[in-house]
Amino acid sequence: MNSHAKSVGLTRATASVFAKELRVEFRSFEILTSTIIFALIVVFVFSFAFNPSAADSRRFGAGFIWIALLFASALMLQPSFTRERTNDTIAALVLAPIDPFAIIAGKLFANFFFLVLVELVLLPAFSVLYNVPLLGIIGPLSGVMLLGTFGIATVGTVFAAISSQARMRELLLPLLLLPALVPLLIACTGATMGLLAESPELPISWLAVMACFDLVFFTAAWLFGGYLLEE
């Protein structure tokens, strides 16, 4: 054994995995390109299908945003672990002397970051297509989006790890992910709808639901993350 080799702390290991995820993605743009295009298509199709008035947009726009993000995330999260199986790099990660949660956490934060990038493209497009000005509510809206996105990334990363070992993995992830995210989706839509109203208001109760959801699932991922990676 190399006399200098040593176990690495959770933070450093997570940062290494996170940086590797970003480097791999920014070499290929495999996930980001498809996800951004998909999310844009969803809001674009909805705007033509419903041809919403300004009042309709304020009422239903929040749902359109989160549905687009939900489906886009299902598309984005799938390769998070399946591409680790191609060359069995997941084995090299599990074999490393690190807390297995660092692998989950590194990927979770990377997925969160990628979803935020998707939102940075999606929200301006939504604002233009649905004629809903967002600049006035950008602060609270960012808070809602970040809380909701963190929940999607947490649950999605955990379920992506589970489904990547299954035979019907492409089918399994949406089947697990979409029902599990229903409570979060209701809270996100409720909070965003409050912000899109003519007299914008931030519903604290929905924010509390989102924060609790994030906390519960992140803690569960921390406690059981190691088991998800075992054969």
Partner 1 sequence: MSASASTTAAESGLSISFANVEKRYGSHVALRRLSLTIAPGEFVALVGANGSGKTTLLRIAALLSRPTSGKITFANAVQNSAALTPAEIKLRIGMVGHFTMLYDELSAEENLRFFANLYGLNDPQRIAAEALAPAGLASRAKSLVRTFSRGMRQRLAIAHAMLAEPSILLLDEPAAGLDREGAAWLASTLSALRKIGATVIMSSHGQSEALTLATRAIAMRDGTLIEDSGPSGSKSNNDARAIIEREAAPIAGIWDSAQ
| Residue whose CB is less far from partner 1, 2 or 199 | 2
Residue 114 CA to residue 117 CA, distance in Å, equals 5
Query: Minimum distance from CB of 184 to partner 1 (Å)?
Result: 31
| Residue whose CB is less far from partner 1, 110 or 137 | 110
Asked whether the beta carbons of 152 and 181 are under 8 A apart, the reply is yes
Residue 65 CA to residue 141 CA, distance in Å, equals 12
| Residue whose CB is less far from partner 1, 167 or 199 | 167
Query: Minimum distance from CB of 139 to partner 1 (Å)?
Result: 37
C-beta neighbour count of 44 within 10 angstroms: 14
Residue 51 CA to residue 182 CA, distance in Å, equals 26
Binding residues (CB under 8 A) for partner 1: these are 1-8, 12-13, 16, 20, 23-24, 27-28, 86-89, 91-99, 230-231
Element housing 78 (H / E): helix 54-86
Query: Kindly report the CA angle at 67 between 194 and 144, in degrees rounded to 5?
Result: 40
Query: Minimum distance from CB of 228 to partner 1 (Å)?
Result: 13
Asked whether the beta carbons of 66 and 151 are under 8 A apart, the reply is no
Query: Minimum distance from CB of 90 to partner 1 (Å)?
Result: 9
C-alpha 229 chain-centroid distance: 20
| Residue whose CB is less far from partner 1, 59 or 85 | 85
| Residue whose CB is less far from partner 1, 98 or 187 | 98
Query: Minimum distance from CB of 95 to partner 1 (Å)?
Result: 6
